[in-house]
């Protein structure tokens, strides 16, 4: 079946511009996660959505970062006024955590490589 998809695969933007990154989770998965992978910081958790609960935003690095999940499916990560340190690969994952518990396997998308010039 279809896995987690992300778009665009690559995004180059100028410092100060806003960007939107999209994630389509596996159909039926109740939980959705955003992570960031960068050379200096490794893999970092950003935000977590589970069903209709309030999202866990504890990993967002600044108020320039926000995310929403519409209809319990597609999610968009928005970065406002991008900075060069935002350059990274942004990964999305989804899981059946609601059914499998917190140990439910997270399935990762291929990521969006963001380059801020």
Partner 1 sequence: AQSVTQLDSQVPVFEEAPVELRCNYSSSVSVYLFWYVQYPNQGLQLLLKYLSGSTLVKGINGFEAEFNKSQTSFHLRKPSVHISDTAEYFCAVSPDAGGTSYGKLTFGQGTILTVHP
The window from 10-18, 66-74, 79-87, 89-97 that contacts partner 1 (CB under 8 A) reads 89-97
CB environment 11-21: b (16+ within 10 A), e (fewer): bebeeeeebeb
21, β-bridge pairs: 77
Exactly one of 23, 50, 75, 82 binds partner 1 (CB under 8 A); which one? 50
From candidates 52, 58, 70, 84, binder to partner 1 by CB under 8 A: 58
Number of residues located near partner 1, criterion CB under 8 A: 28
**Which range, of 11-19, 48-56, 61-69, 70-78, touches partner 1 by CB under 8 A?**
48-56
For partner 1, the closer of residues 59 and 72 by Cβ is 59
- For 71, residues 6+ apart whose C-beta sits below 8 A from its C-beta are none
The C-alpha atoms of residue 65 and residue 79 are separated, in whole angstroms, by 5
Distance of alpha carbon 21 from its chain centroid, rounded?
A: 8
Does residue number 72 form part of the binding site for partner 1 (CB under 8 A)? Answer: no
Vertex 77 angle, CA 76 and 81, to 5°: 130
Which parts of this chain interact with partner 1 (CB under 8 A)?
A: 4, 31, 33, 35, 42-45, 48, 50, 56, 58-59, 91, 93, 95, 97, 101-111
């Amino acid at each position: 079946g279809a896995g987690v998809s992300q778009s665009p695969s690559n995004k180059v933007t100028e410092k100060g511009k806003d960007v939107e990154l999209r994630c389509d989770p596996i159909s039926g998965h109740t939980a959705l996660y955003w992570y960031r992978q960068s050379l200096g910081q490794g893999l970092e958790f950003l935000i977590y959505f589970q069903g209709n609960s309030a999202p866990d935003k504890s990993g967002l690095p600044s108020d320039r970062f926000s995310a929403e999940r519409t209809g319990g499916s597609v999610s968009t990560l928005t970065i406002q006024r991008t900075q060069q340190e935002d350059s990274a690969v942004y990964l999305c994952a989804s899981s059946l955590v609601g059914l499998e518990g917190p140990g439910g396997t997270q399935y990762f998308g291929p990521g969006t490589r963001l380059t801020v010039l």
